[in-house]
Structure 1
Amino acid sequence: MFKYTVCFVKRKDRILMLNREKAPIMGVWNGVGGKVEENESPDQGALREVFEETGIKVETFFSKGTVTWEDHNGELDGIYVYLYEVDEHFTYETPLKTREGILEWKSIDWILHPKNLGIAEMVAQYLSVLLTEKGIHSFTYKGGHIIIS
């Protein structure tokens, strides 16, 4: 079991992104998320993290998966990734400063643009799959690229 989740909340053609104020990936746009607590499943941790960081209560995921990689010691590490969808009429005003950073709705085109250097390194590579293919996915990060298994 991995320790962390990253969650993307989608509304129409936009995703709620967090520009992190703290390490890791300080100053970079990413989904919300955090540590899975003891006696908590990754799904429960993801739901809790979305609520804690945004105040948004999501029900079920649209798509999810794991991203794995080898750490500096050659051991397997990873993170659970989730995509939730809220109603197109859902209102959530941004930008919004939080203790984690700044939340803002970003267009999917902006997030996935190949010249966008402000997005967390792996996000653009796996998010497009989460957006187009419902279900559970397994991604491996190796040599700077995501491999879909």
Structure 2
Amino acid sequence: MNISYSFCTSCGEPLQPISDPGLEQPFRECSSCDFKIWNDPKVVAATVVTHKEKILLVQRIDAPDESLWSLPAGFVNKNENPEQTAIREVSEETGIKCLPIQVLGLNYSNGIILIVYKAELSDKSDIQTPVTAVNELKNTGWHPLEDIPALQFPHDWLYIDRAIRNQGLPLDGSLADPFEQGIA
């Protein structure tokens, strides 16, 4: 499969082909906003963490507009499932420990498969813990649900709304495998 994009889908600037012997697949990168488009799909896990009418959000340094916020998220590593990624990314980016409880949805765009989870704090006292930013982030913090700042990704609004309305699929094993039930 060849990459068919010539221009950045984020800012519209020309994309540069990137080939690295250490990478299995080449990709294209925008020299203006550093947005990457991969030849093979990459899986990203994002997490909606809410507690007491507040939501946990991050500001990324490499975002085209650094004033925008997003859900904690990151690429699934080799030998890691998306749930593990969701837990790891929230912890790495914010210092907060959480447990995914629902799948809020899936999205595919520009070679990225996004899986979004709703999570709850694994330790309710974590809300008091100072939120720590890592080198890829400008800022992290808890925001009132009634005053969510501008978001980098429009689809984040959809998943936040689903989380607030409790419209996800449970991760408690209640969704049995249709093959085990003999219905598929």
Please report the TM-score for the alignment, with normalisation by the length of structure 2: 0.58
1:62–1:134 contact (8 Å) kept in structure 2: no
1:83–1:131 contact (8 Å) kept in structure 2: no
- Give the counterpart of 2:140 among 100, 103, 113: 103
Query: Structure 2 stretches of 5 or more lacking a match?
Result: 1-40, 171-184
1:2–1:80 contact (8 Å) kept in structure 2: no
Distance in structure 2 (CA, Å) of the matches to 1:110 and 1:127: 13
Match of 2:102? Answer: 63
Within a 5 Å distance, the mapping from 1:41-60 to structure 2 comes to 41-58=81-98, 60=99
CA apart distance, 1:122: 1.3
Sequence identity (%)? 25
Q: Alpha carbons of 1:77 and 1:101: their partners in 2 closer, same or farther (altered >3 Å)?
A: same
Once superposed, which parts of structure 1, at least 4 consecutive aligned residues long, lie more than 4 Å away?
none
- Give the counterpart of 2:55 among 10, 15, 21: 15
Larger Rg: 2
Query: Aligned residues, how many?
Result: 126
CA apart distance, 1:66: 2.9
- Relative contact order, CA 8 A, sep 6+: which one is greater? 1
Distance in structure 2 (CA, Å) of the matches to 1:70 and 1:9: 23
Pairwise CA RMSD of aligned residues?
Answer: 2.6
Amino acid at match of 1:66: G
Match of 2:67? Answer: 27
Amino acid at match of 2:107: T
CA apart distance, 1:70: 4.8
Residue by residue over 1:60-111, the C-alpha shift from the partner in whole angstroms, topping out at 9 and shown as x without a partner, is 223223332354xxxx7420112222227731235x5432220011111122
Amino acid at match of 2:105: T
Please report the TM-score for the alignment, with normalisation by the length of structure 1: 0.70
